[in-house]
């Protein structure tokens, strides 16, 4: 359950970061295009890393679950 809470809090923090980035990007439509593009690319990379981490954690959980099932049947 602690793992689930950790993932939920990570995604909530990430959503807050995305929201703050979007709110900050509307301040200047002329001068900050390069900064907005860099920030968007940074958030995209962060999202991909979070997806990879979630997939690895889910795979590990599945392996532990399957190992437990094998141990119970042996």
Which one is predicted more confidently, 72 or 26? 72
The per-residue pLDDT for range 48-62, each reduced to its tens digit, is: 898 898 899 989 999
- The mean predicted confidence, pLDDT, of the chain is 78
For every residue of the chain, DSSP letters joined together read -HHHHHHHHHHHHHHHHHHHHHHHHTS-SSS-HHHHHHHHHHHHHHHHHHHHHHHHHHHHHHHHHHHHHHHHH-
Banded pLDDT at 24 (limits 50, 70, 90): low
């Amino acid at each position: 359950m602690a793992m689930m809470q950790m993932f939920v809090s990570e995604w909530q923090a990430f959503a807050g970061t995305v929201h703050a980035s979007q709110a900050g990007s509307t301040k200047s439509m002329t001068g900050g295009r390069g900064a907005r593009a860099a920030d968007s690319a940074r958030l995209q990379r962060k999202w991909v890393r979070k997806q990879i981490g979630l997939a690895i954690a889910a795979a590990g959980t599945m392996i532990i679950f399957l190992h437990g099932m094998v141990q119970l049947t042996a």
